[in-house]
Amino acid sequence: MATFKLQLQVTADGYMAGPNGEMDWMTLPWTDDMNSYVDALTEPVDRIVLGRKLAEGFIPAWASRPEGETQETIDWMNGTPKVVISDSLTESPWDGAVVAGGDLAEIVERLKAEPGGDLITYGGATLASELIARGLLDELHLFVNPTAIGTGLPVFPNTGAYQRFRLVTARPFDCGITAMHYEPERS
């Protein structure tokens, strides 16, 4: 069965974006040690899972072949099949992407059972929060940026109950970001 990973940029105070989705607090450019970590993280991945709102910006942004990214990263982002989670879309407006709607747990279970490699999601905020709240992720890779913003979209939703995680690794990078790799503690 495939492993479902979350890779997410977060602030030191636990937000994935500012109150209006701002991400100008991110530490850029990444250093070679961080790029190598991300390469190893994504090497077994053969499908990207995105929420509809993120897909609307993410897919066209990578299709435009953004400056400052390596050709290898651009090719991987554009060439890796995508699953867009949406109840409002019935078909994908993007090449290389399919739409999946309905019960999120059933979608994740089906995707993980399909033949192939691992799955990765980069969010957006609604999808990431729901995946975390419902315990549907196998690994959380939080890239903690050395910036606090005071308010915004929290990484961890208020579920009314504790969510426990096991720290697998913590790795600081030369650019100042620290990768925190967690796995949910399942009862």
Domain that holds residue 80: 4-18+28-173
159 pLDDT more than 90: no
For residue 182, being part of any structural domain is answered with no
109 pLDDT more than 80: yes
90 pLDDT more than 90: no
For residue 73, being part of any structural domain is answered with yes
Nearest to 113 by CA among 121, 102, 105: 105
For residue 66, being part of any structural domain is answered with yes
For residue 185, being part of any structural domain is answered with no
Q: What is the pLDDT of residue 160?
A: 86
Nearest to 146 by CA among 34, 50, 58: 34
Q: What is the pLDDT of residue 157?
A: 87
How far from 49 is each of 7, 8, 78, 131, CA to CA, in Å? 11, 13, 13, 11
Beta-ladder partners of 167: 182
Highest mean pLDDT among 26-30, 122-126, 141-145: 141-145
Q: What is the pLDDT of residue 84?
A: 96
For residue 104, being part of any structural domain is answered with yes
As for how many domains the chain has, the answer is 1
For residue 183, being part of any structural domain is answered with no
CA distance 34 to 171: 9
- For the chain, the average pLDDT equals 94
Q: What percent of the chain clears pLDDT 90, i.e. is strictly above it?
A: 88
What CATH number is associated with residue 11?
A: 3.40.430.10
CA distance 167 to 142: 11
For residue 48, being part of any structural domain is answered with yes
Q: What is the pLDDT of residues 21-44, one digit of tens each?
A: 999 999 999 999 999 999 999 999
124 pLDDT more than 90: no
